[in-house]
Chains A and B, each alone.
Chain A
Amino acid sequence: MLEPSRADEALGADVVIGVPAERDRTAAAEAALAVQAGLRAAFPGRTALALVLAGDAEGTLPPGASISIPEPGAPAPAIHTGGGSYPEAALHTLLEVALSLGAPACALLEPMPRPADPGWLRALLDPVLGGDADLVAPSYARRRFDGVLVTGLVYPLTRALFGQRIRQPLGRELAMSRRLAEHLSRDDEWRTDPSHAGADLWVITKALVRECRCAQVFLGPRPVPQTQPPDVSDALANVLGTMFHEMALHAPRWQRVRGSCAVATYGDEHLPDDAAHPPAPGPLVAAFGRGAQDLRRVWGPVLPPQALYALQRIPREPPEGFRIPDRLWARVVYDFAVGWRVKAMDRQQLLRSLTPLYLGWVASYVNEVAALDAAAAEERVERLGEAFEAEKPYLISRWRWPDRFAP
């Protein structure tokens, strides 16, 4: 592997793009070649490099080895290997390579087919190359019921905690400046907590905590739909585990933040037409009801009696009329964050027990947004974010004095 100590040497690359080889190295190589061609078209005067980042736990491949792809005559992209499991460890390899080459900008992109127009690459990288942003998160045009975990939890929580409104913090794709890359590569968590280091939320929170300049860019529809988890509770536990971990690490920082502001936004937001019939809320409300009936004793050590009572009182019939007030939902999420912090129970069990409540919130969101167009739905999401901000003093109080609020 290239030595990070050689970061001061500018070896000529202005942009380094990493494409993690998740399962299929050939697909990653094809994506890297397409990105390389796009880079040449988008930045004709700059030196750009697209790499395949692959794991090599056995150490059989030399760093920077080439791999062959089935298309005859096509040039092979460089493949850089690193330890650890991929794609989680891909970021670390990318940072090492980008810093070694002295690249002012680098990006981690998913291995998927991209539009032939290189404009999206310019849109993504121009804010970093122009010195206007340290972190650029792509924001894809999504339907109303895409990414509801981000809509209902991750976005309002990151917004309320760190005061910056990045709409899609779980985009799995990032562009970053050399300054941020240096910060990230020096972070102790690569060594102390490798299970969290390198995740997309980890990068976003590190950038927000270090007060780096963040931006988002609208890139239109995503070429390939994001892979969905087979089990909702797994995804919930994974995402919230990282989120609460970062909350605990940076508590002194986020407790000083009040309100939120919009981050620099590039590109035009094209909200997609979503005329499809909305999903039925019945199964979601039933899942919530089962949780309220059977998990009351599990929620007891986490939620105060007022919250438990308020959840029990929500009428579940008819399912189309089911609503969870924004402030109650915000408090529930904050209560679970405090429960995670004080280890009110096993943390995995705690996070998984939130699933029925989350599905209940999804039912409420579906009911409220079903009749709205995409723009009105976004306004509704903004109101949810404001509710999380309004309830932040409650979080701070409970975080500082969990026993005082203990039921």
Chain B
Amino acid sequence: MWERVEGVFDEAFGRLGAVLAADLPGIVAMLVVVLGAIVAAFFVRAVLRFSLARVGFDRRAREWGMTTGRGIEPHHEPSWLVARGAFWVVVATGFAIALAVLGASTTSLLGLSLLGLLPRLVVGAIVLLGGIGAGRFVERGVLIGAVNQGIRRAKLVAWAVKWIVFVLAAAMALQHVGIGGSLPTIAFTIVVGGLVLATALAVGLGARGAVARALERGGEAEDGAGETPDEDRIHHL
């Protein structure tokens, strides 16, 4: 009886040892890759923090309106966020490579698919972030211009322009990542087309008189405050 039990255990440990011996190189390789990825991530973070500080990334982000530049914790500045994002991207890439080098068929497939997705995710995130920055910059420019031109609903106009840029950036990012296939493009087209149609209907039906008056005034500001008021009596230069 005990001899049979001993034989079973011997065979089980033998099989375990064989499996471990077969998979150990893959596990070691995975650990090496993960460790290397973590080291590389720290290196990338340090390089990014240094180079972004050198090019004045935080100042440029403030200029573009991505941040207000006020009340930001030191570790919440845009350069820190970018460096931290790059850190985790490198770590995730390392894990994906580690899964691929492990050797098991399912993990290898998962790792390879993650590896294929990561660059598209990074580029999509950059497109989205760029779109957010551009949207806020354009919003501020439109707001200032509209206020200076005497347009009453300046905030609304600026808000609409900002969201059009945001939606465009989001659609571009989604399309690049490959989420939703052609759905983002169709959705974006429908939204923008709908907005244009709604505006055209609203202006055409609801504000015919106002448009006629505006055309008669030759596109002048609503009450003339954006131009030189009393032009014949005030000379700025």
Checking A148, A150, A344 against B62 with a beta-carbon cut-off of 8 angstroms, the contacting residue is A344
B28-82 residues with Cβ-Cβ distance < 8 A to A are 59, 62-65, 68-70
- In the complex, A290→B223 CA distance in Å? 12
Known: A352-B145, A407-B70. A284 touches B233 (CB 8 A): no
Q: Is B106 an interface residue (CB 8 A)?
A: no
Which chain B residues border A225 with CB–CB below 8 Å? Answer: 235
- In the complex, A381→B154 CA distance in Å? 34
Q: Which residue of A lies closest to B235 (CB)?
A: A146
- In the complex, A301→B228 CA distance in Å? 28
A304-349 residues with Cβ-Cβ distance < 8 A to B are 343-346, 349
Question: How near does chain B come to A173, taking the closest CB pair, in angstroms?
Answer: 13
**Among the interface residues A287, A291, A355, which one has the most CB atoms of the partner chain B within 10 A?**
A287
By the criterion CB–CB under 8 Å, are B70 and A406 in contact? Answer: yes
- In the complex, A249→B68 CA distance in Å? 26
By the criterion CB–CB under 8 Å, are A235 and B229 in contact? Answer: no
- In the complex, A349→B137 CA distance in Å? 9
Q: Is A280 an interface residue (CB 8 A)?
A: yes
Question: How near does chain A come to B53, taking the closest CB pair, in angstroms?
Answer: 15
State which size class the interface on B falls in. 35 or more
Which chain B residues border A345 with CB–CB below 8 Å? Answer: 62-63, 65, 140
Checking B64, B223, B233, B235 against A276 with a beta-carbon cut-off of 8 angstroms, the contacting residue is B233
Q: Which residue of A lies closest to B156 (CB)?
A: A294
Known: A352-B145, A355-B148. A279 touches B137 (CB 8 A): no
Q: Is A231 an interface residue (CB 8 A)?
A: yes
- In the complex, A148→B137 CA distance in Å? 31
By the criterion CB–CB under 8 Å, are B148 and A356 in contact? Answer: yes
By the criterion CB–CB under 8 Å, are A227 and B237 in contact? Answer: yes
By the criterion CB–CB under 8 Å, are A349 and B223 in contact? Answer: no
- In the complex, A355→B227 CA distance in Å? 11
Q: Is A170 an interface residue (CB 8 A)?
A: yes
A272-291 residues with Cβ-Cβ distance < 8 A to B are 276-280, 283-284, 286-287, 290-291
By the criterion CB–CB under 8 Å, are A343 and B236 in contact? Answer: no
Q: Is B204 an interface residue (CB 8 A)?
A: no
Which chain B residues border A406 with CB–CB below 8 Å? Answer: 70
Which chain B residues border A407 with CB–CB below 8 Å? Answer: 70
By the criterion CB–CB under 8 Å, are B69 and A279 in contact? Answer: no
By the criterion CB–CB under 8 Å, are B144 and A295 in contact? Answer: yes
Question: How near does chain A come to B51, taking the closest CB pair, in angstroms?
Answer: 19
Q: Is A232 an interface residue (CB 8 A)?
A: yes
Q: Is A229 an interface residue (CB 8 A)?
A: yes
Q: Which residue of A lies closest to B236 (CB)?
A: A149
How does the 8 Å CB contact mask read for A201-240 relative to B, with 1 for contact and 0 for none?
A: 0000000000000000000000001111101110100000
Q: Is A298 an interface residue (CB 8 A)?
A: yes
Q: Is A145 an interface residue (CB 8 A)?
A: yes
Q: Is B5 an interface residue (CB 8 A)?
A: no
By the criterion CB–CB under 8 Å, are B237 and A147 in contact? Answer: yes
Question: How near does chain A come to B170, taking the closest CB pair, in angstroms?
Answer: 23
By the criterion CB–CB under 8 Å, are A229 and B65 in contact? Answer: no
By the criterion CB–CB under 8 Å, are A290 and B70 in contact? Answer: no
Q: Which residue of B lies closest to A145 (CB)?
A: B234
Which chain B residues border A277 with CB–CB below 8 Å? Answer: 233
Known: A283-B229, A344-B62, A346-B63. A298 touches B140 (CB 8 A): yes
- In the complex, A308→B25 CA distance in Å? 67
By the criterion CB–CB under 8 Å, are B235 and A301 in contact? Answer: no
Q: Which residue of A lies closest to B65 (CB)?
A: A345
By the criterion CB–CB under 8 Å, are B147 and A279 in contact? Answer: no
Which chain A residues border B68 with CB–CB below 8 Å? Answer: 300-301
Which chain B residues border A276 with CB–CB below 8 Å? Answer: 233
Question: How near does chain A come to B29, taking the closest CB pair, in angstroms?
Answer: 49
Which chain A residues border B225 with CB–CB below 8 Å? Answer: 283-284, 286-287, 290, 359
By the criterion CB–CB under 8 Å, are A294 and B223 in contact? Answer: no
Q: Which residue of A lies closest to B155 (CB)?
A: A294
How does the 8 Å CB contact mask read for A132-149 relative to B, with 1 for contact and 0 for none?
A: 000000000000011111
- In the complex, A116→B7 CA distance in Å? 127
How does the 8 Å CB contact mask read for A145-170 relative to B, with 1 for contact and 0 for none?
A: 11111100000000000000000001
Q: Is B194 an interface residue (CB 8 A)?
A: no
**Subset of 29 A-B contacts with CB under 8 Å:** A170-B237, A226-B237, A232-B148, A232-B226, A277-B233, A278-B233, A283-B224, A283-B225, A284-B225, A286-B225, A287-B148, A287-B226, A294-B147, A294-B155, A298-B143, A298-B144, A301-B68, A301-B69, A301-B70, A343-B63, A344-B69, A345-B62, A345-B63, A345-B65, A352-B148, A355-B147, A356-B147, A359-B225, A359-B229
Known: A295-B147, A345-B63, A366-B234. 7 other contacts (CB 8 A): A149-B237, A226-B235, A290-B147, A300-B70, A301-B62, A345-B140, A353-B144
